[in-house]
Amino acid sequence: MSINLQVIKDHDELYSRGVEIIQHQLASGATTFGLATGGTMLPLYEKLVSSTIDFSSCQSFNLDEYVGLKASHPESYISFMNKNLFEAKPFAHSELPNGEASDAQQEAERYETLLKQINLDFQLLGIGENGHIGFNEPGTPFEAPTHVVSLTESTRQANARFFDSIDEVPKEAITMGISSILRASTILLIAVGEKKRQALTALIHGEQTIDVPVTALQSHDNIIVLTDLDI
């Protein structure tokens, strides 16, 4: 296990460090970037947007997308990425799983094939309070490729605040699998706030277990963790 743990208490400084890490990746020749959504990424994307960084010769691949939500829906992950990053900092090509595909399983297979062809230079990750990465919830085998997941009731409830009613919250998503994530050459995990303490402690000090998906990263040899938590 090789985790480069960087504890930075000041959030502005923490996210500036995140931008520096991404700039260093670009300067070192990285061209394929795995991206993430979620509240943790918003300050990072804000800083990237106001920086001079140029992704126009790079490709991006997002971790996940809801199934059955129109791309134009404000809560789709493609909408999130357009609004928070791509409109200001376009990539030469950006891919997310297509949540509108008529056959989600086939779409997951297409996405996995694509990921295998390009091999991500870099992957950005957040974590869930239960240790999920992407939509890989506890119990997901580490070997799983990109796949369709049924969202748990608690995840749907947690996300209901973004929709008019719980009935509108999608029941499924397509997510990169843990094995897909682990193929990235460098992984930057950002975990901010007390709610993430348990999951982050499991990664840094715990045993590897499918009950806490983020512990899969212990098998990777190039992980950077940015956090405001003393672990």
Q: Which residues are catalytic?
A: 64, 130, 132, 137
Q: How far is the CB of 114 from ligand PGA (least distance, A)?
A: 22
How far apart CA 187 and CA 193 sit, in angstroms, is 20
What is the Cα Rg of the chain in Å? 16
Q: Which is nearer to ligand PGA, 38 or 145 (CB)?
A: 38
**Applying CB under 6 A, does 138 fall inside the site for ligand PGA?**
no
Q: How far is CA 107 from the centre of its chain?
A: 18
- Binders of ligand PGA in range 74-103 (CB under 6 A): none
Q: Which is nearer to ligand PGA, 29 or 39 (CB)?
A: 39
Tokens (6 digits) for 137: 């919830």
Q: How far is the CB of 155 from ligand PGA (least distance, A)?
A: 9
For 196-216, give the secondary structure using H, E and C: HHHHHHHHHHCCCCCCCHHHH
* Piece of the chain touching ligand PGA by CB under 6 A; list 9-17, 111-119, 125-133, 174-182: 125-133
**Applying CB under 6 A, does 62 fall inside the site for ligand PGA?**
no
* Piece of the chain touching ligand PGA by CB under 6 A; list 38-46, 89-97, 178-186, 199-207: 38-46
The DSSP 8-state label assigned to residue 221 in this structure reads S
Element (H or E) spanning 114, and its range?
helix 104-118
Q: Strand pairing of 64-66 and 172-175?
A: antiparallel
Residues 6+ apart with CB under 8 A from 211: 131, 138, 139
How far apart CA 136 and CA 6 sit, in angstroms, is 25
φ, ψ of residue 173 to 5 degrees: the values are -145, 165
Q: Which of 34, 97, 128, 213 binds ligand PGA (CB under 6 A)?
A: 128
Q: How far is CA 97 from the centre of its chain?
A: 13
Q: Which is nearer to ligand PGA, 40 or 94 (CB)?
A: 40
* Piece of the chain touching ligand PGA by CB under 6 A; list 35-43, 76-84, 170-178, 214-222: 35-43
Q: Which residue number places its CB atom closest to ligand PGA?
A: 38
Q: Decide: helix, strand or coil at residue 125.
A: strand
Q: Which is nearer to ligand PGA, 26 or 204 (CB)?
A: 204
Q: Which of 43, 97, 126, 131 binds ligand PGA (CB under 6 A)?
A: 126
Q: Which is nearer to ligand PGA, 3 or 26 (CB)?
A: 3
**Contact residues for ligand PGA, defined by CB under 6 A:** 38-40, 126-128
